[in-house]
Amino acid sequence: MTTPSLSSELDASAPSSSRAPDADRTLLRAVLALGVGGFSIGTGEFVIMGLLPEVARDIGVSIPQAGHVISAYALGVVIGAPVLAVLAAGWNRRALLIALMGIYALGNFASAMAPGYLSLNLMRFLTGLPHGTYFGVAALVAATLAPTGRRAHAVGLVMLGLTGATLVGVPIAAWLGQHFGWRAAFVFVGLIAVAAMVMLRRGVPDLPATTGASPLRELDALRRPQVWLTLGIGAIGFGGMFAVFSYIKPTLTEVAGLSVGNVPFVLALFGLGMVVGNLVGARLADRSLMRTIGGLLVWSVAVLVLFVFAAQHVVTAAIATFLLGTVVAIGPALQIRLMDVAGDAQTLAAALNHSAFNMANALGAWLGGLAISAGLGWTSTGWVGAMLGMAGLGIFAWAMADARRRAAR
């Protein structure tokens, strides 16, 4: 596997007796700053899902129409990740991260001032543009600063900001939105983004872009089959979680018989599962990357099948919801795999990981909705998710076979 070149440069640049403490402190400060940025993005992405009725009422549209702002944001992520990664290939890493977080802050403040349906959709689209590139560059910086054999762990700590947002940031922003209007939630997210900019300036080392980085060299990643196969694993194999979670509230209330008032507590278990899965998955990836990816795809299928049966009762449904959150464990592993197979096109490949996850979100929610609309019941989303997980396993097997074939040459 290829380790980012800056990592080896840092290892060689300081004496072994003094390097470790300083390097650990640098990594800790950087990861904290990067994680706060991820916390802001995670809060801004997910809080709108709990405030759709308030948004719809305020701008004078139906709740399904208000849901279009979620799609607009996801579209911004899918488009913005490759475009910004290519255009900013030669930028200083810290300067790029601060600029991306600045765009995110402005997008949320503008969303809070949007007067109507069209303007709000446009603002959410623009706000989504820096999402994927931020996490891609943040992952590269964390992996660069991490010691050998702990790259995935460092990336997992950065992603902890995103997963932790579902547990802490989203409930706080939702409370603000319910008591002071949905616009207050976006102001809150924007303020966190501003705080992240300050922390990035102080906590992230002044790392230059890779020598010779350019838009054309970044685009070279798109010529590599292993990049596309890894993205396919994320876009399809990870879609199962979204197939179920997109409809988790009606499943819990209609099938398990959970009261509406207790839904937030069960959803908090999902957030806790994401945090646990992120940390465990990162550690496993450092030990054996490809075995972790394959094993977590199998775990995903098992959890999604289990959900079909566990959703019949409140207690088992709550446990299954926690386990569903752990499926996110595959995220750090796929991020590191993309870095390893992208060659010199590190920025684009890392950013595309989040485009793939947003495609998984759209695909899973769409297929799950088709199953429900066909009259197959709320729990049919578990079977849909399991099939997506199996498809992801198929792509993983294809990737392994392709890698062996190329190695044999």
The HSE-up count of residue 50 (CA atoms within 13 Å, CB side) is: 23
pLDDT band at residue 10 using 50, 70 and 90 as cut-offs: very low
Rounded to whole angstroms, what are the CA distances from 343 to 141, 262, 287?
A: 16, 48, 21
User: Residue 139: what pLDDT?
Assistant: 85
Q: Packing angle between helix 170-180 and helix 263-287, nearest 10 degrees?
A: 150
User: Residue 389: what pLDDT?
Assistant: 95
Same fold across 18-209 and 213-409 = yes
Using one digit for the tens of pLDDT, what is the confidence trace for 292-319? 999 999 999 999 999 999 999 999 999 9
User: Residue 214: what pLDDT?
Assistant: 59
Which of 98-102, 166-170, 398-402 is predicted with the least confidence, judged by mean pLDDT? 166-170
pLDDT at 1 over 70: no
> How many CB atoms are closer than 10 A to CB 205?
15
| Summary mean pLDDT of the chain | 84
Rounded Cα distance, 53 and 384, in Å: 28
Q: 158-194 b/e with 16+ CB inside 10 Å = b?
A: bbbbbbbbbbebbbebbebbeeebbbbbbbbbbebbb
User: Residue 213: what pLDDT?
Assistant: 56
Domain residue ranges in the chain: 18-209, 213-409
pLDDT band at residue 216 using 50, 70 and 90 as cut-offs: low
pLDDT at 220 over 80: no
pTM exceeds cut of 0.75: yes
Rounded Cα distance, 43 and 188, in Å: 9
More confident residue, 216 or 265: 265
CATH of domain 18-209: 1.20.1250.20
pLDDT band at residue 8 using 50, 70 and 90 as cut-offs: very low
Range picked from 113-122, 155-164, 244-253, 339-348 for highest mean pLDDT: 113-122
Which of 115-129, 182-196, 352-366, 371-385 is predicted with the least confidence, judged by mean pLDDT? 352-366
Cβ within 8 Å of residue 166, ≥6 positions away: 42, 46, 270, 271, 274
pLDDT band at residue 283 using 50, 70 and 90 as cut-offs: confident
Using one digit for the tens of pLDDT, what is the confidence trace for 105-136? 999 999 999 999 999 999 999 999 999 889 88
Rounded to whole angstroms, what are the CA distances from 297 to 39, 163, 242, 328?
A: 26, 19, 14, 10
- Average pLDDT of the residues in 371-396: 92
Indicate the residue type of 112: A
pLDDT at 144 over 90: no
Domain 213-409, CATH homologous superfamily name and number? MFS general substrate transporter like domains (1.20.1250.20)
pLDDT at 52 over 80: no
What is the separation of C-alpha 169 from the centre of its chain, rounded to a whole number of angstroms? 15
* Six token digits for residue 202: 């102080």
